Structure 1
Amino acid sequence: MIQIRQNLREYQKDALQLAIKENCALCIPTGLGKTLIGLSYAAHLLNNRKARRILVIEPTRFLVEQTYRYYTQNSTLRDVLKIYGVVNPEKRERLWREATVIVATPHTAYNDLPFLDFDAVIVDECHHTVGQHAYSKLMRNYDFTYRLGLSATIPTKIKDQIEETIGKIYIWSYDDPKIREFVPDWYFDVYDSELSPIEKDVYHSFEKLWLDEGYKVLRSIIGLGKRMLCRDGKSAIIDSLERGRLEILSYAYDKLKQVREDHKLNALREILKRDFDKAIIFVDRVIIAKKIAEEFNHLNPVLFMGKLHGGKELQEIAIKRARDEDTRLIVATTAGEEGIDLPDVDLLIIWSNVASSIRFVQRLGRIMRKTGKMKYAVFIATPDTKDYESLYKGFLAAYEAGINFQEVDIDFIRSLVKKTPMGKIVELVEDSGFVSFDEIREIYGVRADDEGGISRIRRNLSRLCNLGELFFVYYAPFNFKRLRKALINLKNRKYDPYLYPFLKRYWCPGIFYDASELQSLAMNGKYKEIEEIVGMPVPRPYTKFLSWLKTPIEI
């Protein structure tokens, strides 16, 4: 019998009963426990032997990770797996057969349609189940006996399609008497926005150029181009090239001109379909700000770009216009981050993510005023690029500053690392336990004689080590006290040069321990505890164990 570790609120009980009664879509505002309803629904089907296996669909890898973690932490359900595209096809085919409950992205499930064997589906963010979206393709091509859709909002124009593919729609609002007391003051969302194939090709060419020793003196310019493309969009690069800047990257001009629009624009369209009174969007490039204002002219936007783009008088006019009730959209560059008395907004959108903890917190400050309204913060980020790395660092800084995110803890924040350029390393290590530097190098496609590429990998390894994501295991030196101090610093995310010589070969997941503790356990014959800590067999007796500590670990 599967037990749920949380008690359902009254409105959640009502929603669950509707789901048990018939196939349906539940439309409940974000932050009010839709995932718990889905988990309870899954438990009911399994406990009552209505379903053998259940598929849970999440739109992004991030949400797959989050839902998987939620299901395992909030129930006694243990037979759960997560699957998405980064898992190789051969392994996916095996994984599809292994668990009672599988959490996956719609793209992965649809691509692996022949391997599916489920009689129930829980479709999170079910408003995507329209048109040619992978959600819709999956639901049209696989016959699930039991169907439950979950969403915060389902636009009127797509309700018929949702009812056709999933079932009747039931809607709860923030004003519902059973919900009102649970409404959070504010919450956030992260929207992934992938680069197009052409943009990815250009981005990777920038990376190769950056690693080329022949262009070492131009790395700052090349790095700026990388950040600009993934953070701001192709228009920012084109604008700079047309102004005679970033000439070293001019070879990419014709390719980028083929791209129809900036890669984050479609995500912004989805975000601005939300119900809001006034929104502010933070971007770093003026050209992007102007394009956004042009695209969303129906929201009566005002551009706020500071004194350098219009002078004091125009700046004051912009502030006045921003306060006008008819102005529903403020598009701001860095000028809107600090000190300016902009009006209250209930929707904050971050287009250009920043690594600066100060700027991150300042931007959030725009919705931290207590007005009695629900506040939203939405971050648009480009996976597997420096843009996501900035997002991760910003979240971490805000968390450590004590800003209260709805349903966010340090585990969630650190999970963002998997979508940064360092994510490949983390996933490889988590999958294998121990990996060699050469294995990591091969994953990155870096040759053994490529000094620049090797240097980049070591920097990423060093960064992950200092962040506490990975812990290096190679050998333990004689000076155990010094190692202990280094490990304490590592655990507290403080850089310690004593760890630097370790950044060469073998790595394991982020387990923090020190050699003196291992010695103590070995002296008491507790070798099994040691093996649980280091994740591998260790030699016995004590003398051999000490010798093992002082020599390279052979995998």
Structure 2
Amino acid sequence: MTGVLDRFEELLNETGLKLRRYQRAVWSDVRGELFRGTRKIIIAMPTGSGKTFVEMLAAYWGLVNGSDVLVIEPTRFLCEQQFGKQWSRIFGESLVSFDYEGRCDSSAWSRRIVISTPQTAKKCVEALGLKQRFRVLVVDEVHHAYGDRRYAELLDALEPDYVFGFTALLPSKKRFREPPGLKGVALLTFSPDALAKLGDYEPPKAIADIYDATMDELERYVYDYLVRIPWDPVRGRYAGILLHTLVKYGRRAFCETLSRGKTKKVLTDTGDYQELARACMGGLSHKARAFAMVLDSYQPFIEDLKPVIAFTSRKATAGELLEVAESRGLGARLLTGEADRRERLRILEECRGGEVDVVVSTIVGEEGVDIPSTGLLVMLDIPRSELRFYQRLGRLARRRQGSKWPFKYIVFVLTPGTDEYGPYLLDVVLRLALEGVDISFLVVNIEELIRKKGVAAAVTKLIGEVSRHAGTPLVPYTTVVGVPALSPLQILESLVEGCAEEALGQVIGSLDPKLRSLDKLSILLASLLSYWFFSGELWRLVRKRLKARYSTRLVRMVEASIKSGAVGYVYDPDAVSDALAMAIAALCRSVERCYLWGIRELRFQCKDLTTLFALLYTLDDEGKVLEALEGRFKALMDETRREIESTLALDYDVEVRDLNSYNERNRTLSPLVYISLRDRGLAACIRVYYYMIDMGQLKGMGLWEKWQSMVRANLKAIGYLTVAKLAMKNSFVKI
């Protein structure tokens, strides 16, 4: 086995790389376990310690011993990154390949080393009959395997002889939840300090962690109330300010802002003040409660870490944090802009003298004040300004005099279910990594963390609650975003009725004379769904009213959840077929032959319009909900088809085409539904747009084909219902 190490180093040297002393020492311990007959080994090494080289060494050991090697990454992004940056460079593309889309291409899976995700690997191993090939399994970020049944299913399907797992951190609570396939695993843990002693390793500047600041019932009630307030220049603007304050700074700062003269007057006039003031009846805010948890967690080490520095941008929040620290018997000081020069100097001297355990600071402590370095920095909010962020982070960068504690810590306190767990968090983690901060305590797949704890988590919870109450997995979009109990057509009718008569009259006057006698809703649908009669002016009128009445922050949250892949949607067959039947019946009055295709094809488009007809569902990783929805739509389609053929006795046809017409730039799928009633002289082609669809993500989850199949059933159900409803209208064709 010593020869394996030497030969691997020769391979590295050909690319200008070499192993460090501590990496060779780690492999020496792994080799010792192999000599003792251990077949399942987990190696825990800090972020930035080059554990990928040890992973490749384990794979090389497998190749030398005659086995092909399967490498598992938790995400498709990591598959591509590891293949491009490391594995293909060392082993060459003739020896290594990757597959995360589930294509199961035999040429890719014929390589000696294949990099994949657990779900794709299980699918392709079974589809291609490769169970006996991969006797060595290398699992990167193996902590994902604990509690994730996809890994357990892969281990059951593969039954490898050897498993090498790698992680930056395996929390103790996860060590006792071993998947069946990892029973009896040997755990080799190498701390930053241990690697430094082995040689050639420099420990990180600090270790990062995240604590959740969970809202209580009153805070969550007010939050939900605020996100449902429609956006407008007055009411919506003040709601936005209050929402931002509540999420980032907590109850006390929120109530301070709410009670300010102009804010109170505006919201009293709109009838919102009393509802929002309910938040002020509680005790400590969610941020202060989370800060208490941080202090409790680190209390045994505060003597070595002090002064702990807690940053917040609001004075009211700082006051709460001070109360929390003092209630735990800690020597705490408050540093705000109201403190004069003498007070600041006194606090700083006390810090240097070791008399202060905790310093709570507002913006004044970020620059211009020489706060001593800390061993524990707590950010109760994350500044969007890079300058302010690095000024705060700089409190960790200074050398601490007299401290024997080997590490420093930075803790972020974030509100789950809000945009604090948003894309901006990705930038924060990147900044920390570039500054040499060990992010092992954070979930490695930060995008998954955002999905599970960001706004998508709040939206999926809301959909789940409505779904359980209604007894169906499909929840109307309008119900979720707080629209009154109206159908999509009733909403559109109320909007067009409210348009100024003069402006509406100008639009109607520009349309085909045969359409002018129709009701306003029919005119609206005919002009919005038909390309050649489309009225931009009418749509602008309706869209303006739609946004004024229904555009809330909750709408944006739902859209963000759809884009993230946590929530999916289909179109309500009954509501869409009502709209299509009404539009087609109207348009057929204005043409000699009712053939609506080519330049006359109908387009069910414009996101603001189509989402009114959407039914939302939460997307699971296995695609079971997609299979259930497909079955539901097929049943509806069969029932409608039987009614058409037995009761209406029509000569008709319904087809779905162009299911691959995907626009990657706009993330839009636009298939066609073709319907015809040959004995009535009608044929129509409707292009239906599905927005915010991430094909790459669905393929990465192995769900693209299932999703397409479900969409086909959704569109066929719409087509059959449209045919049935058109057949019952006698005024639209010349028989």
TM-score (normalizing by structure 1): 0.55
Whether 2:403 is the aligned partner of 1:386: answer: no
Give distance in 1, aligned partners of 2:182 and 2:434: 44
Deviations 1:172-227 (A, max 9, x none): 154x26135x445x35525252636x55x843752443323499845455445544
Could you tell me whether the CA contact under 8 Å between 1:301 and 1:327 is conserved in 2?
yes
* Cα pair 1:229 1:236 within 8 Å, conserved: yes
Which runs of no fewer than 5 residues in structure 1 stay unpaired?
A: 58-63, 83-91, 154-170, 428-438, 465-500, 507-529, 540-550
Q: Residue 151 of structure 1: CA displacement?
A: 6.3
Is 1:230–1:385's contact at 8 Å kept on the other side of the alignment? yes
* Residue type of the alignment partner of 1:138: R
The change in CA–CA distance for 1:278 and 1:226 in structure 2 (over 3 A counts) is same
- In 2: Cα distance, 1:390 partner to 1:216 partner: 26
Work out the CA distance in 1 between the residues paired with 2:422 and 2:48.
25
Cα deviation 1:127-177 (Å, max 9, x = unaligned): 522xxx3x1442286643544455647xxxxxxxxxxxxxxxxx7154x26
Aligned to 1:117: 155
Q: Distance in 2 between matches of 1:214 and 1:535?
A: 26
1: CA distance, partners of 2:71 / 2:478: 33
8 Å Cα contact 1:191-1:380 kept in structure 2: yes
1:289 aligns with 2:325: no
Match of 1:74 in 2: 86
Match of 2:363?
334
The amino acid that maps onto 1:250 is: A
* 1:514 aligned residue: none
Which AA in structure 1 matches 2:276?
L
Paired letter, 2:194: W
Q: Which residue is 1:138 aligned to?
A: 177
Instruction: Give yes or no for contact 1:276–1:347 (8 Å, CA) kept in 2.
Output: yes
Amino acid at match of 1:109: G
Looking at structure 1, the residues matched to 228 and 321 of structure 2 have their Cα atoms a distance apart, in angstroms, of 31
Secondary structure of 2:289's aligned partner: coil
Give the structure 1 partner of residue 134 of structure 2. Answer: none
| Post-superposition offset of 1:11 | 0.2
**Aligned with residue 122 of structure 2, among 97, 111, 122:** 97
Aligned position for 1:249: 276
Structure 1 match to 2:381 = 352
The one-letter amino acid of 1:334's match is I
Aligned to 1:231: 248
Indicate if the aligned counterparts of 1:304 and 1:331 stay in contact, CA closer than 8 A: yes
- Which amino acid in structure 1 is aligned with residue 332 of structure 2? V
Q: Whole-Å Cα distance in 2 between the matches of residues 313 and 14 of structure 1? A: 55
**Alignment match of 1:262 (pick from 289, 299, 303):** 289
| Structure 2 letter corresponding to 1:97 | K
Q: 1:219-254, CA deviations, whole angstroms, 9 ceiling, x for partnerless residues?
A: 455445544454345676689899999854233467
Output one character per residue of 1:91-138: Cα deviation in whole Å (capped at 9) or x when no partner: x99668337657576597256797463664736355522xxx3x1442
Partner in structure 2 of residue 61 of structure 1: none
Give the aligned partner of residue 306 of structure 1: 336
* Secondary structure in structure 2 of the residue aligned to 1:32: coil
Does the alignment pair 1:15 with 2:26? Answer: yes
Counting only pairs closer than 5 Å after superposition, residues 358-373 of structure 1 correspond to structure 2 as: 358-369=387-398
Q: CA deviation at 1:17?
A: 2.7
Question: Which entry has the higher C-alpha Rg, 1 or 2?
Answer: 2
- Per-residue deviation, 1:354: 2.3
AA partner of residue 193 (structure 1): D
Pairing of 1:127-276 with structure 2 (within 5 A): 128-129=171-172, 133=173, 135-139=174-178, 143-148=182-187, 150=189, 152=191, 172=194, 174=196, 176=197, 178-180=199-201, 182-183=202-203, 186-187=205-206, 189-191=208-210, 193=212, 195=214, 198=216, 202-203=219-220, 206-213=223-230, 217-219=234-236, 222-232=239-249, 248-252=275-279, 262-263=289-290, 265-266=292-293, 269-270=296-297, 276=305
Amino acid at match of 1:179: D
* Alpha-carbon separation, structure 2, partners of 1:105 and 1:371: 33
Instruction: In structure 2, give the amino acid aligned to 1:128.
Output: P
Tell me how far 1:18 sits from its aligned partner: 1.1
Deviating more after overlay: 251-260 vs 204-213? 251-260
TM superposition shift of 1:257:
7.7
Checking the alignment, whether the CA contact within 8 Å between 1:55 and 1:121 is kept in structure 2 is no
Secondary structure of 1:345 counterpart = coil
In 2, Cα distance between equivalents of 1:258 and 1:237:
10
Q: Counterparts of 1:37 and 1:537 in 2: how far apart (Å)? A: 43
**Structure 2 residue runs without a partner (length 5+):** 88-95, 103-116, 125-136, 265-272, 461-473, 492-545, 562-604, 611-661, 672-685, 691-735
- Encode CA deviations 1:303-353: one digit per residue, 9 max, x unaligned: 232242x55443322111122245454332222112111113354332222
Distance 2:288 2:73 in 1: 32
Change beyond 3 A, Cα 1:419–1:252: same
CA, structure 1 residues 377+224, in 2 after alignment: closer, same or farther (shift >3 Å)?
same
Matching residue's letter, 1:122: G
Q: CA deviation at 1:66?
A: 8.2
Contact 1:336 / 1:342 at 8 angstroms: preserved in 2?
A: yes
**CA shift for structure 1 position 364:** 2.3
TM-score with structure 2 setting the length: 0.44
SS at match of 1:109: coil
CA distance in 1, matches of 2:28, 2:97: 21
CA RMSD of aligned residues (A): 6.1
Amino acid at match of 1:314: E
Partner residue, 2:497: none
Aligned residues: 427
Q: Per-residue deviation at 1:16?
A: 2.5
Partner SS for 2:381: coil
CA distance in 2, matches of 1:368, 1:239: 34
349 and 258 in structure 1: CA distance in 2 versus 1, 3 angstrom threshold:
closer
State the alpha-carbon separation in 2 of the partners of residues 325 and 231 from structure 1.
31
Q: CA distance change for structure 1 residues 143 and 332 in 2, over 3 Å: closer, same or farther?
A: same
Aligned partners of 1:382, 1:69: CA distance in 2, in Å?
A: 32
Code of the aligned partner of 1:348: L
Identity %: 17
Equivalent residues of 1:301, 1:329 under 8 A apart: yes
**8 Å contact kept, 1:227–1:387:** no
In the aligned structure 1, how far is the partner of 2:384 from the partner of 2:342?
32
Give me the whole-angstrom Cα distance separating, in 2, the residues matched to 1:255 and 1:288.
13
What is the identity, as a one-letter code, of the residue corresponding to 2:326? Answer: E
CA distance in 2, matches of 1:325, 1:177: 34
1:216–1:424 CA distance, 2 compared to 1 (3 A)? farther
Looking at structure 2, the residues matched to 47 and 532 of structure 1 have their Cα atoms a distance apart, in angstroms, of: 42
